[in-house]
Structure 1
Amino acid sequence: MAREKAMVFVLYGFTCLTALAWLTGLTADVSVLPKPEKLLSRPLQREQEVNQQLNTSALNTALAFEPYRDLATSTAAEQQQHNILFSPLGLASALALLSQVSVSESRSQALEALGLAANATEQSVEATLSALADLQHSLTLHEGGGVQRAETRAGTGIGATPWVEIEGDDAGNRTDGDDGAEGRNGTEGGVHPGGQLRVWSSLHIDGTPSVDYNSFLFRPRHTSAFNTSFDTLMKDLEASDKLELTNYVHFKGRQPFARQHTVPRSFQLNATTSVEVAMMFGDDSSEVMMLYDTNCSATVVRLAHSQRLASLLLLPKAELQPLEDCLSDERMSFWRSNLKPGRAEIRFPKFQLRKSYSLESLLRNSGVSSVFSHSADFSGLSQKTLKLAKAPHEVMLEVEETEYEDGGRPDITLDFSVPPRITFNRPFMLIIYDDLTGLVLLMGRIIDPTDV
């Protein structure tokens, strides 16, 4: 009887998340991308409403800045010279899944990392998980002059979180079988949104055939979901006591630069070593949001990918470590609140970066340990003792130009003190986030853009 109740609870929780995500998609709003200053000055009422259910500050601290600091201060000297890239949104997705299939301390730790107090009621838990599912689905909105091409697929499996995608204006170049006719017709008003985001978390039996990361990247959009079904999972558990959680994230961001202006240039890795990279170029004909933070000795530039998705590009004046020491949710809030419109020439490297970590290594300083130990309690799935044998977190970031050529806009005289040319030709950081809630989606540092 206890097992039946546990199964009913888990299926109910997943059904609520999936239904909410589906319903959210019916109200998708397609609008023209506003100017950055208008975007940042819109009322905070919607953000406050979302944050009442989703503790964005706690999520950023536990799943973004603490894991980053742990990776950046690794005791291995060689690791300190490597690129870093991970996805706090992916971590939140994995924790939400784990909270649905675990109980006792394992579940409590997962929920606390999601910003819930230890004594949180089930109603609060349900509201937070629903808000997280709602947020993840909302990021599928195609915001700009084009036609909405967003869609969400929920697997039939236990706790299958929907993968989401934002389709830019290059729909005609897809190779997945979609005709993409609407995307090939261009966009309105010169607005060219450029961001694709996919997030996938699934639970299956260790050693059983599963989708690897390359299959995740190139999976045709219109095939059926690939997560193990609940019935199959329960059947496999009869012959195995090892689980595997896969957590995949892919973001492809197109910057507002014309391809014909991309040229090879030098990127200085350190005082003695440099590499050649394809450097994109944006002239000063369009306004960007930026500031210089004297406390962190860094230039901060904001570039929008869509109405919801944006990047903070962080270029230190000299060494990267003082900037890394500055990182916090409070500092990020300061940057977002103090960005000013201005004009500057920007040079930024075109690159592709792929990193893989274990969830355990990323979450060890966030209080999530029980679920990865021999004492993990997965009685929400089975009464037998189960162990989470593998839990990879794999992320890919692609940064490239848009395909169009911007004719430019009339010059406007502005009183702005930031230097007119900002060149990312040395190690820098980036934070990709949801502008509505401030939640960090991807975060990393680029030491060597040629080290994929």
Structure 2
Amino acid sequence: MYLADRLLLLLAALLALSHGQLHPQHNGEGHTNSSHQQVPGTGEDSPSLRIAPANTKFALRFYHLIASESPKKNIFFSPLSISAALAMLSLGARSHSQTQMLEGLGFNLTELSESDVHRGFQHLLHNLNLPSGELAMHVGSALFLNHDLPFLPKFLNETMAFYESRLFHTDFSDTVGTTQRINNHVKKETQGKIVDLVGKLSTDTLMVLVNYVYLKALWEKPFIASRTTRRDFYVDESTTVQVPMMLQDKEHHWYLHDRYLPCSVLRMDYKGDAAALFILPNQGKMKEVEEVLTPEMLMRWNNLLQKRNFYRKLELHFPKFSISGSYTLHQILPKLGFSDLFSPWANFSGITDQLNLQAPKSFHKATLDVNEAGTQAAAGTSFSSRFLSVPNNHRVLWFNRPFLVVIFSTSTQSILFLGKVVDPTEP
């Protein structure tokens, strides 16, 4: 069946703004801007490619912080969802708060204007949401607005034009009903995979911004389910778990063994505009590999894995698993330079000039399901002299110890999902 046999990848992020109350400016439910600006085509200087380096840089900064705080735990998140949500929110920020948010996302505003950033996300989201018979992807945002507060038309129009956001007016004094409404919307948009994103809302909440990514993808070279068997997975020196281990031994794959780093890298393509890099450190060498996980290294690996001499027949053993990640962004982002965002000094006067809005909380959830039919990954630049493939004899690659996952859109060079699988039996 189409729905049952594909990879499920998705994310939802939540930002809530609160303080005060007041008067309706817009009516309607879930409306979007019908007069979208024309979105430029793809090309080497397309708007989405111009923002890709900053998005990659932010993704890895976020990853390194999470990994340093929880070195022995699974990690999985969507940097695209977090970046898009923050960039969208910056449309309503002013003065130092706006600059801090965009620079925190990795943008050099002397090289890329604020307008360039938003046009880049507009182009990126437009391309990711293009219909495809091979890849099911849905990236979207929604603003839940207090029906009594006069939101500035410029903010609402720009969020719809650049981020294709849907607008919902609701009564935040009914905290139970509004919470249920938001959770039902996210559940629907993510095909039931993200549930209960929002806990109980505060009675002074005036606006909630939700961003979600839903992705289903088929492997270009699927595994055969009947060949999956239970095998050991070595979490660390003292912990071994049993996992369903998938097997391929007649296919060619893009892979390499790094000559100077203790790891192997496998590129797995999906049908459609997506691919994945799976980075497998040698036993006990995860920290060494994480230390060199930079945008430049991802580019080198990805570029190398498009060269024919790295396309070889491989006996591949890969786990079937499901993991998830939940993150309280209001505790994480201040450590990444967003010091004003969740403080009383934040300036969101571009959203409404009636009240001093604050963003007290922000949440992010993501889940990943990998099975015989599907999975995805990152971006690249070459340096072939630094790497050697495995010897020309029987090539075997066992993903039976912790590894990294980078899932990316090939046309936009944007990381969609990033993570680390430490224990595939931990949901």
Q: TM-score by structure 2 length?
A: 0.71
Instruction: Look up the equivalent residue of 1:65 and give its one-letter code.
Output: L
The match for 1:103 is 94
Evaluate the alpha carbon distance shift between residue 265 and residue 109 of structure 1 in structure 2; reply closer, same or farther with a 3 A threshold.
same
The match for 1:290 is 255
Structure with bigger helix share is: 1
Structure 2: stretches of 5+ with no match in the other structure: 1-24, 27-31, 145-155, 192-201, 375-388
Residue of structure 2 aligned with 1:442, choices 417, 421, 427: 417
C-alpha displacement of 1:372: 1.3
* 1:275-299 deviation line (CA, Å, top 9, x unaligned): 11111222233x2111111332111
The number of aligned residues is 349
Evaluate the alpha carbon distance shift between residue 107 and residue 163 of structure 1 in structure 2; reply closer, same or farther with a 3 A threshold.
closer
* 1:223-243 deviation line (CA, Å, top 9, x unaligned): xxxxxxxxxxxxxx9x84654
Q: Does residue 320 of structure 2 align to residue 350 of structure 1?
A: yes
Asked if the contact 2:135–2:273 (Cα under 8 Å) also holds between the matched residues in 1, the reply is no
Asked if the contact 2:33–2:161 (Cα under 8 Å) also holds between the matched residues in 1, the reply is no
Structure 1 residues 224-373: aligned runs within 5 Å: 240=204, 243-255=207-219, 256-285=222-251, 287-319=252-284, 320-339=286-305, 340-373=310-343
Structure 1 residues 21-420: aligned runs within 5 Å: 46=42, 48-50=44-46, 54-61=50-57, 63-74=58-69, 79-118=70-109, 124-141=113-130, 143=132, 146=133, 158=156, 159=159, 207=175, 208-209=178-179, 211=181, 216-219=186-189, 240=204, 243-255=207-219, 256-285=222-251, 287-319=252-284, 320-339=286-305, 340-383=310-353, 384-402=355-373, 417=391, 420=395
The match for 1:233 is none
3-state secondary structure, aligned to 1:73: helix
Separation in structure 2 between the aligned mates of residue 242 and residue 428 of structure 1, nearest angstrom: 41
Instruction: Look up the equivalent residue of 1:375 and give its one-letter code.
Output: W
Q: TM-score by structure 1 length?
A: 0.67
Evaluate the alpha carbon distance shift between residue 220 and residue 269 of structure 1 in structure 2; reply closer, same or farther with a 3 A threshold.
closer
Separation in structure 1 between the aligned mates of residue 348 and residue 250 of structure 2, nearest angstrom: 56
Instruction: Look up the equivalent residue of 2:282 and give its one-letter code.
Output: K
Instruction: Look up the equivalent residue of 1:301 and give its one-letter code.
Output: L
Instruction: Look up the equivalent residue of 1:69 and give its one-letter code.
Output: H
Instruction: Look up the equivalent residue of 1:431 and give its one-letter code.
Output: V
3-state secondary structure, aligned to 1:395: strand
Evaluate the alpha carbon distance shift between residue 297 and residue 51 of structure 1 in structure 2; reply closer, same or farther with a 3 A threshold.
farther
Instruction: Look up the equivalent residue of 1:271 and give its one-letter code.
Output: E
* 1:155-174 deviation line (CA, Å, top 9, x unaligned): 5864369999xxxxxxxxxx
Structure 1: stretches of 5+ with no match in the other structure: 1-6, 9-13, 28-45, 165-198, 222-236, 404-414
Structure with bigger strand share is: 2
Asked if the contact 1:54–1:115 (Cα under 8 Å) also holds between the matched residues in 2, the reply is no
Evaluate the alpha carbon distance shift between residue 156 and residue 87 of structure 1 in structure 2; reply closer, same or farther with a 3 A threshold.
closer
Which structure is higher in RCO with an 8 Å CA cutoff and minimum separation 6?
A: 2
Evaluate the alpha carbon distance shift between residue 149 and residue 263 of structure 1 in structure 2; reply closer, same or farther with a 3 A threshold.
closer
C-alpha displacement of 1:364: 3.0
